[in-house]
Amino acid sequence: MSENLTGTVALISGASSGIGRATALRLAGAGAAVALAARRADRLEEVAADVRSAGGTALVIATDLTDADAAAGAVESTVAELGRLDTLVNAAGVMLNGPSDESPLDEWDRMVDINLRGLMYVTKAALPHLLDAAEDSPRSVADVVNISSVAGRVAAPTVALYNATKFAVTGATEAWRLEYTTRNLRFSVIEPGRTASELFDQKANSDADFTAAFGEVEALHTEDIADAIGYIVTSPRRVAVNEIVIRPTDQP
């Protein structure tokens, strides 16, 4: 049986849209106070308003998590304002695919910064607080959920740097899981397939490229991924969900 999250605090990166937004609403609905981190303050305020209108507690943290000091500040603000940190969901991400000989180097840097460095900076800063929460929580557990991708499992042409960042996220999550498994801090990775979100709006022709590779598919909804995250973090302490791959039914 799943447990509710009343009395716990969750920090969600990339919370202004997509999977991050859906996750914030899902965890707030389970009783968690949520800290919403992303760069777009106006979009975060909209998410916070939705949380509060449903009776939840939301803290807006408009910041650039690719800056190590800003990432640490987001964690410290969460703990200072909401009192603790039990759950971290790293959902921020960018996908800028294309032929490697034609792709601008700054796009590669941007994927490394957002998909990998930002995740590492937030996770590093959060670890002491998550370990404290695992010790004093009535649930006796804390969670980190990292959003990778099926591109973190299978390489593809024109996807080299996105593959690189997502393979890294998947690998780091498993290494952290092994490192902290005896301290009641669970690490989980989710690898979604095609999901309807702003990810495919970040570069021209992304939808066309996907359709050319995989054909027309009925995309997952962001709420489908948020439900998987909810399952992970509301599971009792004895249940550690290490990895979930979620593809649309008709995606090869």
- pLDDT attached to residue 201: 55
The answer to whether residue 185 is domain-embedded is: yes
Q: Which of 121, 162, 180, 231 is catalytic?
A: 162
The answer to whether residue 251 is domain-embedded is: no
CA–CA dist 37, 15 (Å, integer): 6
Q: What is the mean pLDDT of residues 142-156?
A: 95
CATH number at residue 42: 3.40.50.720
Whether residue 91 has pLDDT greater than 80: yes
Please report which confidence band the pLDDT of residue 218 belongs to, taking 50, 70 and 90 as the band edges.
confident
The answer to whether residue 252 is domain-embedded is: no
Residues of the domain holding 146:
9-246
The total number of structural domains that make up the chain = 1
- pLDDT attached to residue 213: 56
Task: Provide the percentage of residues in the chain whose pLDDT is more than 70.
Answer: 92
- pLDDT attached to residue 138: 85
Listed in sequence order, the residues at least 6 apart from 86 whose beta carbon sits closer than 8 Å to its beta carbon are 5, 8, 9, 10, 32, 130, 133, 137, 139, 142, 143
Q: What is the mean pLDDT of residues 243-251?
A: 93
The answer to whether residue 216 is domain-embedded is: yes
The answer to whether residue 3 is domain-embedded is: no
**pLDDT digit string, tens, across residues 174-214:** 999 999 999 999 999 999 999 987 665 554 555 555 555 55
Whether residue 123 has pLDDT greater than 90: yes
**pLDDT digit string, tens, across residues 53-82:** 999 999 999 999 999 999 999 999 999 999
Q: What is the mean pLDDT of residues 117-130?
A: 98
The answer to whether residue 2 is domain-embedded is: no
Is 162 annotated as catalytic?
yes
CA–CA dist 95, 156 (Å, integer): 13
Long-range CB contact pairs, 178-185, < 8 A, 24+? 180/131, 181/240, 183/131, 183/134, 184/134, 184/135, 184/140, 184/141, 184/142, 184/237, 185/127, 185/130, 185/131, 185/134, 185/141, 185/142, 185/143, 185/144
Q: What is the mean pLDDT of residues 241-251?
A: 94
250 vs 113 pLDDT, higher one:
113
**What mean pLDDT, rounded, does the chain reach?**
93
Q: What is the mean pLDDT of residues 216-240?
A: 95
- pLDDT attached to residue 211: 52
DSSP structure class, residue 221: P
- pLDDT attached to residue 2: 64
The answer to whether residue 1 is domain-embedded is: no
CA–CA dist 128, 85 (Å, integer): 9
Whether residue 149 has pLDDT greater than 80: yes
